[in-house]
Structure 1
Amino acid sequence: MRREPTMAENILSSATQWIYTHSSFWDVSMALLGLFVFQCINDRLTNKGPMLWPVLGIIPTMFLHVNDMNNFVTRALSKAGGTFHHKGMWMGGAYGIVTADPSNIEYMLKTNFKNFPKGKYFRERFQDLLGDGIFNADDELWREQRQAVRAEMHSSRFIEHSLRTMKDLVHQKLLKLTDNLVRSGDSFDLQEVLLRFTFDNICSAAFGVDPGCLALDIPDVPFAKAFEKATELILFRFLMPPFIWKTMKFFGIGYEKTLKEAVGIVHEFAEKTVKGRRDEIRKHGSLCHQSDLLSRLIEIEYTGRGKEMQFPDKYFRDLCVNFILAGRDTTSVALAWFFWLVHSNPQVENRILREINDILSLRETQTKNEVIFTMEELNKMVYLQAALSESLRLYPSVPIEVKEVVQDDVLPDGSIVKKGARVFYCIFAMGRMDSIWGENCLEFKPERWIKDGKFVSENQFKYAVFNAGPRLCLGKKFAYLQMKMVAASILLRYSVKVVEGHDAIPKMTTTLYMKNGLLVTLMPRSVNTTAS
């Protein structure tokens, strides 16, 4: 027997029928608009962070501030108390938090390290360029590479090789190039020159190959150009939904086509170098005359097993490309910001010069052009190291990092993160938080790093410029030596003047480049001797 509808069912049916027969497109549009407005108001009342729009999430907010992203995120974090939630486009699967809280960063990078790897989001965007290299790897693959690299990078042989190649590049190429530019009387882009220097330097240390980017005439180095192009184009993968860039990659169109071509040139150069080194050790049975990282690792593997190497060429190729990425951009960009800050703070420049000249006064009489700093002298430059550290605090080479959550977790500040969430920690913002660095956090003040005449390192989770925890940068000591060598050598000989009206604006990339470079003129120091 058929059941009779209830009174409630009759009323609901009648209401539905009325809406169906009487509502118009205008009515539906107004209802949807009302829902949209309600969700916007609700988000503003319940969310402390940036606006999360219906359907589109945080994407519209990001594009509104794309030219000032780092400062925008800093303001948002400060307003939100150090942490805020984010989510991407509806159905896109992007969600998580952004934080600048040192307790959260320590928890992710040390306390519960296993639960916060690089993750698929980061790895798949850099996979084409970095492969399975140390900076793109997680878990056992990462541990295996780090163990091998750490032992060799900390060896006296590699340190001596690094210092020797660094000295040669500074005095035989960098200073000759700057002297040539000074004589021309023209202003030039110091950031571009520093990028050329660090590229040659890291290639010499990692590959044992000098690409020749510091030649007096502007050189045509396809490998260097391709590497720069590849790192710039990869940024687009972080700014657009995966289905767009993956489709472009599949069909080989647009910037993905250019990216593939650039990566091909980079890998071809690296593979050729690896093959040459392996052919050499097969022929001679040893690479004892080579001290670069690649040669040492290949020889250790070869002699350790007593037979042909078990690792494929791709293993060594990826390792070297990863080190070039880390060593080229980071120190050159850090030095560019350092020279800009020193120009803006002449009292800091004067103190650096006094320190350098006090150290050199212990030498016999020597002209500035003859000065080649020793490691012992570089280690004595406490104030210079403080100035470099302060520059990195305000302008970290890598302004933001990302981790992916393996299992549901709760961070020390109470933030709940679900499996698959992406946690961004903003190193740029950390240096500008008065809750971390005090009310003078925006001031360039090297003195904050010195106590009783000695350099004092900060808590690595408060100062995550060189990463922290198990992933603490293996090249930190190398980076400081390189920066001090370049900074001291240039400041001893020249006064660096930024061209009037030239603004230093951060560029929207994965590394904190200056958007318009650093346009400078160099004025030779008037005094010709360092000691008497």
Structure 2
Amino acid sequence: QHPTMTASPLIYSAMEWLQSHAHHVSLWDVTIAFLGYIISSCIVERLTNKNGPMLWPVLGIIPSIPFSQDEIYDWVTRALAKAGGTFWYRGVAFGGARGIITVDPANVEHVVRTRFGNYPKGKYYRERFRDLLGDGIFNADDAEWKEQRRLATSEMHSSRFERHSYDTMRELVHQKLLMVLEARAAAPRDDKPPLDLQDVLLRFTFDNICNAAFGVDPGCLTVDLPEVLFARAFEEATEFTLLRFLVPPFVWKPMRILSLGHERRLKEAVRIVHKFADKTVLDRRTELTKLGRLSDRSDLLSRLMEDKNHNFSNKFLRDFCISFILAGRDTSSVALVWFFWLIDKHSDVEAKVLSEIHQIILRRCPPVGRDAHQDVVFTPEELTDMVYLQAALSESLRLYPSVPMEMKEVQEDDVLPDGTELKRDDRVMYCIFSMARMEALWGRDCEEFRPERWLRDHGRRMVNESQFKYAVFNAGPRLCVGKKFAFMQMKMVAASVLWRYSVVVAKGHRAVPKVTTTLYMKYGLPVTLRPRVVAARKL
């Protein structure tokens, strides 16, 4: 400024500038400026993020995602393949969602094992599940998680629990599941609409996991398929909790405070679930006080309550058991639904499964007569020997994992093996669904249903794939503690059903993944059941 000129400020605040120039600014000027900002931001984004999905101003990745949720996992798979295995995402402005999605097994191993302590479930995950799960193992981190993990491993891997879980499964399969299927298969043809197999299997796994965790049978699986309040409330509590992952926190948190919409329904569902669980814990505590022992019970609740080295609170026991119900209900049932859907499309695999079962039955001493084939109850040893069936289930899980995507939260700045730099509070998601469809990991036939990829030594043994490439049961220290339980349950159901019935998916039915934490069939799985005639089998 020239010394003779009157001094004037050269720096204005944005508000001061707008106030002084408001009479000169038209709507057209604002529109042009806004469009210029959008265009320039998009150009910069494309130059700095050449391979990943477009991250739009304000809206982040949202406009790039397909409108139809039927296509979401296929879209993620294509985006990951184009980006070379890892891409950045950002959610709506002020929503706080920012991080990467990856399918690189080296990245997965780094996150879930090498730097395990730096990648907990994190606040983002825990605060969404806290109302339902409290501090249960499924929603815990650090020392709290380690103690619950130790307890779960000790109890679930004990011979006592293994016997209890097998006995419970056997009774549920033969006294309930097969009776429901037989009633439908034996119904007159005119009165026999397709059966929703997904609903039936969800009922089975819910009753089974409640028996294992709480030592109670909710009674969901009977011939009339009744509506059970606790089961319905648990399903609603899970679904409405998962909505919190799709809705920005500045939306769902006020809704929770004001008890509006799905948050009001979530609160009521959680109240019913907790009331049932609290009553079960209190009743069992009363039983222990009255009898002085629970030696006749082998469920997790009873075993923890009788642990003389700990004095667990009722809330701890409730949260612990509810977490197990959540972990065991949907995962196994969804896996079985996809398995039966794939078997219907691959008759050659079905024939091999039946042949294996038949050979195992023929080994019995004394041999089982043909008339008794329909009454066969498989022993734990026979289930273990069903190697081809396990390969088929493993392949089904590879293509359609029950949990298609896992998420972790970054505690401290870090660099992944592929060079991706992460900052504190970023999120790391690894897409298990997409990993199965990467040629670099599984070969050119990666999208084919081929159980043989899991077999070696002429089909006598299973291939042990890296848990970081096949993360269906999670990996590292958080590897699913119930993996053995899950496979026994799935093999018991699959073998018992396929031996007796041909399961035929309703013609024209389209099965698609649903965008939730677990992989559901969007429209259920309508099937018809055709009883098998043993004497006519070609095995």
TM-score (normalised: structure 2): 0.93
- Per-residue deviation, 1:59: 2.2
1:379 and 2:384 are equivalent in the alignment: yes
Residues 386-414 of structure 1, C-alpha deviations (whole Å, 9 max, x = no match): 00000000000011111000000000011
> Partner letter of residue 79 of structure 2?
A
SS in 2 for 1:523: strand
Partner of 2:144: 141
User: Equivalences for 1:440-479 in 2 at 5 Å?
Assistant: 440-452=445-457, 453=459, 454-479=461-486
CA contact (8 A) 1:134 1:319 kept: yes
User: Equivalences for 1:291-370 in 2 at 5 Å?
Assistant: 291-300=298-307, 303-304=308-309, 309=311, 311-363=312-364, 364-366=367-369, 367-370=372-375
> Partner letter of residue 73 of structure 2?
N
1:418 and 2:423 are equivalent in the alignment: yes
Partner of 1:73: 76
1:126 and 2:133 are equivalent in the alignment: no
SS in 1 for 2:100: strand
1:96 and 2:99 are equivalent in the alignment: yes
Partner of 1:159: 162
- Per-residue deviation, 1:5: 6.2
Residues 51-102 of structure 1, C-alpha deviations (whole Å, 9 max, x = no match): 1111111123336353421111111111101100111222333211111111
Separation of aligned partners in 2, 1:191 and 1:524: 19
SS in 1 for 2:139: coil
1:284 and 2:291 are equivalent in the alignment: yes
Partner of 1:434: 439
SS in 2 for 1:314: helix
Residues 453-480 of structure 1, C-alpha deviations (whole Å, 9 max, x = no match): 2111210000000000000000000000
SS in 1 for 2:272: helix
Residues 21-76 of structure 1, C-alpha deviations (whole Å, 9 max, x = no match): 76533123112202211211332232121111111111233363534211111111
Partner of 1:244: 251
- Per-residue deviation, 1:515: 0.4
- Per-residue deviation, 1:531: 13
CA contact (8 A) 1:361 1:531 kept: no
What is the RMSD computed on CA atoms of the aligned residues?
Answer: 2.4
Partner of 2:511: 504
- Per-residue deviation, 1:118: 0.1
Residues 137-176 of structure 1, C-alpha deviations (whole Å, 9 max, x = no match): 0000000111111111110000000000000000011001
Separation of aligned partners in 2, 1:428 and 1:191: 20
Q: 1:180 to 1:80 in 2, by over 3 A?
A: same
Residues 453-509 of structure 1, C-alpha deviations (whole Å, 9 max, x = no match): 211121000000000000000000000000000000000001111111111111222
CA contact (8 A) 1:65 1:72 kept: no
Separation of aligned partners in 1, 2:318 and 2:227: 23
Q: 1:394 to 1:5 in 2, by over 3 A?
A: farther
> Partner letter of residue 38 of structure 2?
F
SS in 1 for 2:33: helix
CA contact (8 A) 1:361 1:530 kept: no
Partner of 2:62: 59
- Per-residue deviation, 1:220: 2.4
- Higher deviation after alignment, 242-251 or 37-46: 37-46
Residues 256-287 of structure 1, C-alpha deviations (whole Å, 9 max, x = no match): 00010001111111111111111111111111
Partner of 1:117: 120
Partner of 2:276: 269
Separation of aligned partners in 2, 1:287 and 1:131: 26
1:520 and 2:527 are equivalent in the alignment: yes
Separation of aligned partners in 2, 1:529 and 1:157: 40
Separation of aligned partners in 1, 2:3 and 2:377: 99
- Per-residue deviation, 1:112: 0.3
SS in 2 for 1:103: helix
Separation of aligned partners in 2, 1:494 and 1:345: 15
SS in 1 for 2:534: coil
> Partner letter of residue 42 of structure 1?
V
Q: 1:380 to 1:529 in 2, by over 3 A?
A: farther
Q: Percent identity?
A: 60
- Higher deviation after alignment, 233-242 or 374-383: 233-242
SS in 1 for 2:316: helix
CA contact (8 A) 2:361 2:368 kept: no
Separation of aligned partners in 1, 2:455 and 2:166: 25
CA contact (8 A) 1:115 1:407 kept: yes
User: Equivalences for 1:251-262 in 2 at 5 Å?
Assistant: 251-262=258-269
